[in-house]
C-alpha cells in the first residue's frame, strides 16, 4: 500500500462553518474520512493534514519529497502568493495534484492565478469534496503508470 499525503492549507479545518454557500456544509472530519475511504478503495494509505502555517506546509512538502510520497494539495490561500510553497513543490519526487473545493476561476479575480499549478501534474477544482476523490484517483493512475514502466 502506497502512502499519499493530502495536505490542506489555511482555513480548511473550518469546513462546515466557513462560507457554506461556497464550500458546503460537510466538515473537515468528513473530508478526512472521505479521503481515507477513497484511499482504501485505491490501495493507498492516505494521511490527511491541515495547517494555517506556511512554514509547516513547506516542511510537509519537504518530507514528501524526501520520502517520494505523492501529494494531493489544497493550498487554499497559499495558492495565490506562496512562492516558498511553489519552490518546495518544485522539488517533488512523486505525483502532485492540486485540488480545490470551489472553482477559483469562477470566483474573485485574485483567485484566478495559482503559483503552484505550474509544478503540479494537474489541477482538479470545482467539484466540492469530490475534487479530492478525483485527485486520489489521478494519483493512483499515475502511480500505476509509473509501476508499468
Largest Cα–Cα separation, the chain: 45
Output the known binding site.
74, 80, 87, 101-102, 111
45 is catalytic: no
DSSP lists the bridge partners of residue 98 as 73, 123
Bridge partners of 47, per DSSP, are 5
Nearest by Cα to 14 from 47, 41, 50 = 50
Those residues whose C-beta lies under 8 Å from the C-beta of residue 136, and which sit 6 or more positions away, are 4, 6, 35, 38, 39, 42, 44, 46, 72
23 is catalytic: yes
Catalytic residue among 45, 81, 83, 100: 100
User: Binding site for substrate: what residues are annotated?
Assistant: 74, 80, 87, 101-102, 111
Catalytic residue numbers read 23, 100
Amino acid at each position: 500500500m502506497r502512502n499519499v499525503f493530502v495536505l490542506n492549507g489555511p482555513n480548511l479545518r473550518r469546513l462546515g462553518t466557513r462560507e457554506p454557500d461556497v464550500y458546503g456544509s460537510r466538515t473537515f472530519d468528513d473530508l478526512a474520512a472521505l479521503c481515507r475511504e477513497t484511499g482504501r478503495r485505491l490501495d493507498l494509505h492516505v494521511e490527511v493534514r491541515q495547517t494555517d502555517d506556511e512554514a509547516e506546509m513547506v516542511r510537509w512538502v519537504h518530507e514528501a519529497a524526501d520520502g517520494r510520497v505523492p501529494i494531493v494539495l489544497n493550498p487554499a490561500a497559499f495558492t495565490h502568493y506562496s512562492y516558498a510553497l511553489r519552490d518546495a513543490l518544485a522539488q517533488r519526487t512523486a505525483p502532485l495534484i492540486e485540488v480545490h473545493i470551489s472553482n477559483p476561476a469562477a470566483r474573485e479575480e485574485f483567485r484566478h492565478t495559482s503559483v503552484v499549478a505550474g509544478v503540479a501534474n494537474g489541477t482538479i477544482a470545482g467539484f466540492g469534496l469530490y475534487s479530492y476523490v478525483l485527485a486520489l484517483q489521478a494519483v493512483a493512475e499515475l502511480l500505476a503508470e509509473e509501476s508499468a514502466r
